[in-house]
Amino acid sequence: MQLTKAEDHAAASGGGEAALLNAQLSAARGVASDAQNDLHLYTLAAHVHWAAAGAKLAMGRLLGIPPVPAANDAESFADLHRRLDATLAYLREVAPGELEAGLDREIVIEHRRGSTRASGGQFLLAFAIPHFLYHLTTAYGILRNQGVPMTMGDFLGNWASS
């Protein structure tokens, strides 16, 4: 996704970077708002953070590295760009053989209701990729909701011209 369009929009609209970074989707009409539901209404900055952090954490699990989430502390588009660049650099360093071996590794995710076990391949397809796409899609939705002129091409990147 192109955060540069979001930056340009923030500058052109006069709304400011902080307002856009803190934008979030609201609860649907008729849905009761309570503290538990409000926890899931993350800001744009948080969705970008969790897309990047989730990708790194998922790869770490596949490689057998204990998960240690990065701090969700981005306060600017520059911070988000650094986070995304660091994530891409980390992912590029993974040797294909290590990733391949991770697909057979047992992944255990602890959560409030107990734990979930899956092979690395199942984890990747059923959890890691949907998790990433949820945060990416929601960030895209927030930007569209805030008037940023995003298109499907911005979402698809290089595949948009195919």
pLDDT in tens, 119-156: 999 999 999 999 999 999 999 999 999 999 998 888 88
Signed CA dihedral, 59, 74, 138, 159: sign only: negative
**Tens digit of each residue's pLDDT (9 = 90 or more) over 55-77:** 999 999 999 998 888 899 999 99
Does the pLDDT of residue 35 top 90, yes or no? no
d(CA 74, CA 35): 23
If one counts every other C-beta atom within 10 angstroms of the C-beta of residue 17, the result is 16
Using one digit for the tens of pLDDT, what is the confidence trace for 113-129? 999 999 999 999 999 99
Q: Which residues have C-beta within 8 Å of that of residue 107, sequence separation ≥ 6?
A: 61, 62, 117, 118, 119, 120, 122, 123
Query: What's the confidence (pLDDT) of residue 86?
Result: 95
Spans of all domains in the chain: 3-22+34-151
- CATH 1.20.120.450 assigned to domain 3-22+34-151? The reply is yes
Q: Is the pLDDT of residue 160 over 80?
A: no
Looking at the whole model, is its pTM more than 0.75? Answer: yes
Is the pLDDT at 36 greater than 60, yes or no? no
